[in-house]
């Protein structure tokens, strides 16, 4: 994929961030189709949105947060992710999380969490930064189910966007399951992401 083509329209050109698209090859039984080309070709599919933030007019960080230590808080992070995605049947292991640290785009500065009153971690987020494209990528945002609707997700995204801009990112992207009952797209739209690109991940 040509990097200039990607930068002209990141979310419409690829279902993945540039660095992932350059390093990962989908299995043969998986077909990935943009919504403009979707004609109901497959019955077994999931829909994923992909939207972009210009990193302009960011909300300020006027609340407390902490940085996650991947070396020392791996278990806690895995437990939070798994507890937050039970409806999606998504689960990560501590080894999965340690592998993230090997990405060239990884920065522990972009791994954060927020405590509720009483010091309990209730929300966390992880982003990555591709210095080649100057693209920030929101990878994980999770809020424990009992703390949703209290603004924690928006706070996590606000911190990550501000950090990415400070690191030199010119834009940020995020993707997620369009049919997730928690409606993550609504959260990202409220945080300033824009776009209408949808990718169909199909098994054939």
Lowest mean pLDDT among 100-104, 135-139, 194-198: 100-104
CB 73 within 8 A of CB 111: no
pLDDT at 120: 83
* pTM (two decimals): 0.94
Q: Sorting pLDDT into bands at 50, 70 and 90, what band is 25?
A: confident
Contact call for residues 36 and 16 (beta carbons, < 8 A): no
8 A C-beta contact, residue 137 and residue 173 = yes
Q: Which domains are delineated in the chain?
A: 3-203 (3.40.630.30)
Rounded Cα gap, residues 81 and 65, in angstroms: 17
Query: What are the strands of the beta sheet with 194-203, ordered from one edge?
Result: 30-34, 194-203, 45-53, 171-177, 135-143, 121-130, 111-115, 66-67
Helix (H) / strand (E) element for 81: namely helix 74-84
Q: Is the pLDDT of residue 87 over 80?
A: no
Q: Please check the confidence at residue 135 and state whether its pLDDT lies above 80.
A: yes
């Amino acid at each position: 994929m040509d990097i200039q083509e990607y930068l002209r329209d990141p979310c419409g050109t690829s279902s993945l961030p540039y660095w992932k698209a350059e390093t990962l090859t989908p299995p043969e039984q998986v077909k990935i189709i943009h919504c403009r080309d979707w004609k109901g070709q497959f019955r077994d599919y999931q829909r994923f949105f992909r939207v972009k933030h210009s990193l302009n007019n960011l909300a300020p960080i006027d609340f407390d947060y902490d940085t996650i230590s991947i070396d020392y808080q791996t278990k806690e992070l895995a437990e939070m992710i798994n507890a937050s995605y039970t409806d999606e049947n998504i689960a990560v292991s501590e080894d999965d999380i340690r592998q993230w640290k090997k990405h060239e785009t990884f920065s522990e500065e972009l791994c954060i969490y927020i405590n509720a009153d009483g010091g309990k971690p209730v929300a966390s987020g992880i982003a990555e930064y591709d210095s080649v494209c100057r693209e920030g990528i929101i990878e994980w945002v999770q809020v424990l189910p009992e703390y949703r609707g209290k603004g924690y997700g928006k706070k996590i995204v606000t911190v990550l966007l501000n950090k990415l801009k400070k690191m030199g990112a010119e834009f940020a992207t995020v993707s997620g399951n369009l049919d997730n009952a928690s409606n993550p797209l609504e959260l990202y739209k409220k945080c300033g992401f824009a776009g209408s690109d949808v990718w169909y991940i199909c098994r054939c």
